[in-house]
């Protein structure tokens, strides 16, 4: 199972990367919350359900997707901007609560756990502004805080999935104290993606 690995030796020296990489900016939740979400997946999972469930090791909260083919030369500028943003942001808390789907229960494509916190939304807005100033395209949709736990490949058992999701709609999965913003590289695999931590920035400096 792929796992999130340790940072590169020199955080903002990306010369060792390919000219273009799949990259994103994200937060990690606390281990206890990850454990609760892994338990949720086990309650929702069924043999042959046609859903690609996210491994616990890959749980993350995306703040901004830099693109499937981000130019390497733009990573250092966005990294520098993230350092400034992180230094000016105090650690804060995020509550994980509730479950839902995109776009809707009639044709689910993504299954997610809800995330709640005013500072989270403000941080995402600052990160998006910095990314756009560094030349990355704006996100197509308004920011909606969530953590993806599954992707529906073929909805083979919607009749079972709907009541299961409804039962978990208001479940609390715990609170996480956020202390870092992370720049990740993503490498797609046949079963799940592998994420590499390229640089991390401590909140509050």
Residue 140 in domain = yes
Residue 4 in domain = no
Note if the bond before 103 is cis, omega within 30 degrees: yes
Residues 11-59: tens digit of each pLDDT: 588 999 999 999 999 999 999 999 999 999 999 998 888 899 999 999 9
Place 201 in a pLDDT band, splitting at 50, 70 and 90: very high
Residues 121-140: tens digit of each pLDDT: 999 999 999 999 999 999 98
Answer yes or no: is pLDDT of 158 > 80.
no
Residue 107 in domain = yes
Residue 181 in domain = yes
Q: What is the mean pLDDT of residues 76-100?
A: 97
**CATH label of the domain that carries residue 90:** 3.90.1140.10
* Burial of 154 (C-beta count, 10 Å sphere; 0-12/13-18/19+): exposed
* Domain hosting residue 110, numbered range: 21-202
Number of domains in the chain: 1
Answer yes or no: is pLDDT of 1 > 70.
no
| Side-by-side strand order, sheet with 20-27 | 61-71, 20-27, 180-187, 194-202
> How much is the pLDDT for 2?
45
With vertex at residue 196, the alpha carbon angle to CA 190 and CA 197, rounded to the nearest 5 degrees, is 155
* Burial of 1 (C-beta count, 10 Å sphere; 0-12/13-18/19+): exposed
- pTM for the model stands at 0.89
- Rounded-to-integer distance, Cα 19 and Cα 191, Å: 25
Residue 6 in domain = no
Residue closest to 98 by CA, chosen among 151, 40, 176, 26: 40
Residue 2 in domain = no
Residue 16 in domain = no
Average pLDDT of the residues of the chain: 90
């Amino acid at each position: 199972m792929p796992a999130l690995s340790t940072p590169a030796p020199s955080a903002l020296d990306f010369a060792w990367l390919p000219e273009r990489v799949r990259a994103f900016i994200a937060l990690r939740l606390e281990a206890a919350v990850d454990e609760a979400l892994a338990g949720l997946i086990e309650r929702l999972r069924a043999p042959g359900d046609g859903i690609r469930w996210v491994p616990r090791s890959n749980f993350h909260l995306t703040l901004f997707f830099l693109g499937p083919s981000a130019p390497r030369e733009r990573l250092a500028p966005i990294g520098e901007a993230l350092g400034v943003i992180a230094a000016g942001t105090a650690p804060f808390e995020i509550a994980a609560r509730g479950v839902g789907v995109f776009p809707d229960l009639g044709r689910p494509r993504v299954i997610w756990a809800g995330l709640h916190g005013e500072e989270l939304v403000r941080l995402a807005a600052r990160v998006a502004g910095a990314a756009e100033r560094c030349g990355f395209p704006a996100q197509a949709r308004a920011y909606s805080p969530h953590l993806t736990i599954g992707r529906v490949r073929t909805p083979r058992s919607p009749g079972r999935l709907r009541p299961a999701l409804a039962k978990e709609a208001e479940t609390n999965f715990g609170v996480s104290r956020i202390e870092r913003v992370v720049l990740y590289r993503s490498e797609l695999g046949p079963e799940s993606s592998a994420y590499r931590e390229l640089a991390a920035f401590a909140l509050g400096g």
